[in-house]
């Protein structure tokens, strides 16, 4: 999909309380996605609220789980630059040492071992690839990110850390 012809509604995987999850329009890196803040005025990753961060973290974790199960990436890169699209978003870029074949398409990470950019921005895949990727990612929709449970788990972890620090002092 060329940037000028990107159909964002089609590429959207799921909508959450604070974030929307999208397939990236260029699948040079098989399974590349990004998470977009719903707050139009939000630009800085380090100024998001705790609950926004918790949901972002839960979404990224779910995306990674799906990608690991479907394609076994060797590494993940993350990018949040804001130079071209001026709204807070985080790219999740799976990286692969060896080629992957998905939906009758061969994917080769020619940049393995170096920065993900520059990459082939003219790389094209058929609609069948996007449709098949959306099927993989719909596993996230069926699980739905449970922010309340994620936050309580995080609180339990914090309490465990505090408790263990107290044990160390004893």
pLDDT of residue 132 exceeding 90:
yes
Which range of residues forms the domain containing residue 36?
3-143
Q: How confident is the model over 86-109, as pLDDT tens digits?
A: 789 999 999 999 999 999 999 999
Is 70 exceeded by the pLDDT of residue 70?
A: yes
E strands, the chain, where? 12-15, 19-23, 33-37, 75-79, 89-95, 100-102, 105-107
pLDDT at 142: 42
Residue 44 maps to a domain:
yes
Is pLDDT of 38 > 60?
Answer: yes
Split at pLDDT 50, 70, 90, the class of 85 is confident
Q: Is residue 95 assigned to a domain? A: yes
Confidence of residue 61 (pLDDT cuts 50, 70, 90): very high
The answer to whether residue 151 sits within a structural domain is no
Residue 126 within any structural domain of the chain: yes
Tally of structural domains, the chain: 1
Q: For residue 134, what is the domain's CATH number?
A: 3.30.428.10
* pLDDT at site 41: 85
In a domain, 28, yes or no: yes
Distances from the Cα of 126 to the Cαs of 25, 51, 86, in angstroms? 11, 37, 28
């Amino acid at each position: 999909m060329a940037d000028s012809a990107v159909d964002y509604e089609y590429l959207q995987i799921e909508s959450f309380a604070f974030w929307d999850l999208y397939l990236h329009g260029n699948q040079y890196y098989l399974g590349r996605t990004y998470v977009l803040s719903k707050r139009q005025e939000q630009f800085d990753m380090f100024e998001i609220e705790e609950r926004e961060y918790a949901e972002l973290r839960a979404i990224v974790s779910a995306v990674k789980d799906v990608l690991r199960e479907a394609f076994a990436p060797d590494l993940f890169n993350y990018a949040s630059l804001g130079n071209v699209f001026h709204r807070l978003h985080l790219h999740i870029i799976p990286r692969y040492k060896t080629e992957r074949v998905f939906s009758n398409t061969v994917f080769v990470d020619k940049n393995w071992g170096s920065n993900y950019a520059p990459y082939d921005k003219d790389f094209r895949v058929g609609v069948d690839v996007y449709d098949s990727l959306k099927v993989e990612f719909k596993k996230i929709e069926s699980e739905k990110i449970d922010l309340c449970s994620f936050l309580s788990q995080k609180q339990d972890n914090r309490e465990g850390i505090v408790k263990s620090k107290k044990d160390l002092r004893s």
